[in-house]
Amino acid sequence: MTVSGAWRRTARGAGLLADDGSVAASIFAEMSALAVRTGALNLGQGFPDEDGPPEVLEAAQRAIRDGMNQYPPGRGLPVLRDAIARHQKRFYGLDLDADRQILVTAGATEALAATILALLEPGDEVVTFEPFYDAYGGLIALGGGIHRTVPLRAPHFQPDLDELRAAVTDKTRLILINDPHNPTGAVFSAETRALIVELAHRHDALIVTDEVYEHLTFGAAHVPISTLPGAWERTITISSGGKTFSTTGWKVGWLSAPAHLVTAILAVKQFLTYVNGAPFQPAMAVGLDLPDSYFTGIADVLRSKRDTLAEGLIRAGFTISVPQGSYFIVADARPLGYAHGADFCRALPGLAGVVAVPISAFCSPAHRHEYASLVRFAYCKTTDVLTQATRNLAALAPA
């Protein structure tokens, strides 16, 4: 796809177009196309290959049959906002006003986009960890912001707290934290969370948290930063039903924040999508009201999938970081003789019939080299697919 004339200059201004005017090539698209072309098992993109809970799927079908097919309210259907409030109360003890402090969005992605566009002035700084979810870089650029990063380093991918302190300054408008973290699988420590709140206060910054993997942790239960003392008043908490209910294609997300911040974000959101997914919203409400056993069940199943893939990767000769949450394992291909993850990922379908993505895809150009040999494998796949993948990967093991 190419864009010409003034449009091209504008999008390129945010670094979103390649020099030839094409959409800057995404390694995700390249790797997924490679999986299709070669018939390799796609452990590249992070979407589940099984359907989510039948109650949720049926609720959406029922809503369509019942005629819920027109624009829902701008803030989202009350039935979903009420369910989000109940969910935040049940799991985190938060008391939310469903009419003023909650906004339904087109996935977590639109929540992030509307938040960044609403709250950032051109030239403001946004601090994130690095590697970072790829949309962050693009959205900060669209908002005219300056992206500062704090490195997460293998094997544990926890930030150095002095580096975090140094990154947040009076120029920082937003501290954007993804916990549990994609792509590294890290879950951040209580000390890190507390320091983020302390720094936000000291420098009058807002905190934006992306918690789409909130129910997919394998150790201690997830702790939203907004539950920390002094955090609520300056935190925008973002999540989505895509990962929790294996419905990534539905794009129903939400955020919660103090009412004046929600209003500012709504002012932008109304001109992005306005609204989305009317029949999916009551279905998400059914999901959020599922019993505790559903939520512990998905984490247990995912942990056993993580273990299957982790053992397979170790047997194949990789050095891995064991993730504490999310869908992904980061593996180092250096012990197998590959210093360059992108080259390795291009070769992997031929070598082992498996697709992965290089961690460099989640890094800024200046820091890519620090993560050059690392690749990300997704384990949100059926046990059959994971077992087959680990069998294939065994072929890589040095004799």
Which residues lie near ligand PLP (CB under 6 A)?
107-109, 133, 178, 182, 210, 212, 240, 242, 248, 251, 253
> Where on the phi/psi map is residue 18: left (φ > 0), alpha (ψ -120 to 50), or beta?
beta
- Residue 214 or 393 with smaller CB distance to ligand PLP: 214
Smallest distance from ligand PLP to CB 108, Å: 4
SS3 307: helix
Smallest distance from ligand PLP to CB 252, Å: 7
- Residue 243 or 390 with smaller CB distance to ligand PLP: 243
C-alpha–C-alpha distance, residues 174 and 159, integer Å: 17
Q: Residues 169-191, buried b or exposed e (16+ Cβ, 10 A)?
A: eeebbbbbbbbbbbbbbbbbeee
| DSSP state, residue 359 | G
Smallest distance from ligand PLP to CB 210, Å: 5
> Where on the phi/psi map is residue 349: left (φ > 0), alpha (ψ -120 to 50), or beta?
alpha
- Residue 101 or 184 with smaller CB distance to ligand PLP: 184
User: Within a 10 A sphere around the Cβ of 141, how many other Cβ atoms?
Assistant: 17
Smallest distance from ligand PLP to CB 298, Å: 15
Read out DSSP for 43-109? Answer: -SS---SS---HHHHHHHHHHHHTT--SPPPTT--HHHHHHHHHHHHHHH-----TTTSEEEESHHH
User: Within a 10 A sphere around the Cβ of 142, how many other Cβ atoms?
Assistant: 18
Smallest distance from ligand PLP to CB 250, Å: 8
- Residue 238 or 393 with smaller CB distance to ligand PLP: 238
Smallest distance from ligand PLP to CB 25, Å: 20
Query: Residue 155, preceding bond cis, omega within 30 degrees?
Result: yes
Smallest distance from ligand PLP to CB 93, Å: 24
- Cβ(381)–Cβ(49) below 8 Å: yes
- Residue 244 or 392 with smaller CB distance to ligand PLP: 244
- Residue 325 or 349 with smaller CB distance to ligand PLP: 325
- Residue 185 or 349 with smaller CB distance to ligand PLP: 185
Residue 183 tokens read as: 């792509």
Rg (CA), the chain: 21
Query: Residue 131, preceding bond cis, omega within 30 degrees?
Result: yes
- Residue 172 or 247 with smaller CB distance to ligand PLP: 247
Smallest distance from ligand PLP to CB 83, Å: 16
Q: Token pair 């949720």 is at which residue?
A: 56
